[in-house]
């Protein structure tokens, strides 16, 4: 067994993506890359409790006596079922088993890029809806927004799980994948061949708003996010910036080290959050960010019910230090640290190992961050009500 010592924040409801999977809203997974590989002797060599011998005995009896031996030909299936049941008994959703496919996806996501076609897949009303990303292979091949996925390389996709869709679309650079899609207003299915390529995982988008205000839309906190922020800052004339909106809506989290670095850009205070270990010991995470460029610019932060994990660390620190208002909905409430173990067979085990507290030691787990200004965006309108409220605040508090 190998321990991947990247500590990650990971909401349970997000899957790893090679094509970006979304639910009915746009959300992205943030997944760890193996950094430290601990050899098998890391696991205790003490004998297992006597109770576990029952599992071995059951398997041996099945091998000898069970009527349908064909069901025992794949012991991996039985082992995975036993592991899954064991973890379900803990009644803690963030400690879970990853089969080979999920583990491979999870460990590939943090690279800063992925091989794919550059499209999001949305599961909506039983259909797989495709959304090509501007400037990437799917769009160049002719895929349009809201095309419905029917098949992948001739395989019926309508009943595929999201993981299966990802596994069939992923591949090597410069190879092709054939998608059959249905398009509104077109009677017959359309076949599109798309060449896979390396897609950079940009995590921050800068948007110029009115009256000298800007928005930093942070989709997740990956290894590249602090560098992206520094590059954006270096290209900004901050003398002309009257206020900043940080948009964390639908941000599922990411790397702890990344959010600590990014949050430090906006705060004079050093403490970003506290971590409570299983033995009750507390570890304080501080930023060593010396840059003062963003620390005094008026700030507002947008969140919603899908803002989770690392994004809640950011929002909690901003709120505790009264740096700027949190605007939107109460956040998801995922305030725990996970360790990712690599198991034999290229499978994995994600284990909750600690809880988080905000700088003022307020818990996040199952509670979330409550905004000072509560607004639910009206999906039936084109207006962004939360952003409008943030701009109103910044206009009243501009430099």
Residues annotated as catalytic are: 309, 320, 334
> 136-149 in b/e burial notation, b at 16+ Cβ within 10 A?
bbbbebebbeebbb
Q: Residue 97: which of 306, 106, 59 has the closest Cα?
A: 106
Task: Give the burial class of 195: count Cβ atoms within 10 A of its Cβ; 0-12 exposed, 13-18 middle, 19 or more buried.
Answer: middle
Q: Residue 172: which of 222, 117, 133 has the closest Cα?
A: 117
**245: Cβ–Cβ under 8 A, 6 or more apart, which residues?**
209, 213, 214, 215, 216, 299, 300, 301, 302, 387, 390, 391, 394
Alpha helices in the chain (DSSP H): 53-65, 75-88, 100-108, 137-140, 162-169, 225-234, 256-264, 310-320, 385-396
Cβ atoms of 169 and 132 closer than 8 Å: no
Name the DSSP letter for residue 1. -
What does the alpha-carbon distance between residue 14 and residue 27 come to, in Å, rounded to a whole number? Answer: 8
């Amino acid at each position: 067994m190998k321990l991947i010592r990247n500590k990650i924040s990971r909401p349970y409801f997000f899957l790893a993506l090679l094509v970006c999977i979304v639910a009915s809203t746009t959300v992205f997974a943030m997944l760890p890359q193996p950094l430290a590989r601990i050899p098998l002797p890391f696991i205790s060599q003490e004998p297992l409790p006597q109770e576990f011998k029952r599992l071995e005995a059951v398997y041996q009896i099945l091998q000898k006596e069970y009527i349908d031996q064909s069901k025992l030909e794949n012991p991996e299936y039985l082992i995975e079922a036993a592991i899954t049941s064991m973890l379900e008994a803990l009644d803690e959703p963030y400690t879970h088993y990853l089969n080979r496919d999920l583990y491979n996806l999870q460990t590939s996501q943090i690279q800063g890029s992925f091989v794919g076609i550059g499209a999001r897949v949305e599961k909506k009303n039983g259909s797989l809806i495709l959304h090509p990303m501007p400037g990437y292979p799917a769009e160049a091949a002719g895929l349009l927004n809201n095309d419905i996925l029917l098949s992948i390389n001739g395989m019926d996709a309508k009943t595929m799980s999201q993981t299966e869709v990802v596994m069939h679309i992923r591949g090597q650079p410069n190879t092709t994948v054939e998608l059959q899609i249905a398009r509104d207003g077109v009677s017959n299915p359309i076949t599109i061949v798309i060449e896979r390529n390396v897609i950079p995982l940009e995590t921050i988008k800068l948007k110029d708003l009115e009256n000298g205000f800007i928005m930093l839309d942070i989709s997740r906190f990956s290894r590249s996010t602090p560098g992206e922020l520094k590059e954006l800052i270096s290209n900004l004339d901050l003398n002309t910036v009257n206020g900043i909106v940080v948009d964390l809506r639908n941000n599922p989290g990411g790397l702890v080290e990344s959010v600590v670095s990014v949050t430090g850009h906006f705060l004079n205070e050093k403490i970003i959050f506290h971590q409570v270990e299983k033995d009750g010991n507390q570890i304080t995470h501080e930023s060593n960010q010396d840059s003062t460029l963003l620390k005094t610019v008026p700030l507002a932060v947008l969140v919603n019910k899908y803002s989770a994990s690392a994004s809640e660390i950011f929002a909690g620190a901003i709120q505790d230090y009264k740096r700027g208002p949190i605007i939107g909905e109460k956040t998801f409430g995922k305030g725990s640290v996970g360790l990712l173990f690599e198991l034999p067979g290229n499978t994995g085990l994600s284990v909750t190992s600690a809880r988080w507290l905000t700088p003022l030691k307020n818990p996040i787990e199952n509670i979330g961050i409550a905004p000072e200004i509560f607004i639910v965006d009206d999906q039936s309108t084109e207006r962004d009500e939360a952003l409008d409220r943030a701009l109103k605040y910044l206009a009243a508090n501009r430099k």
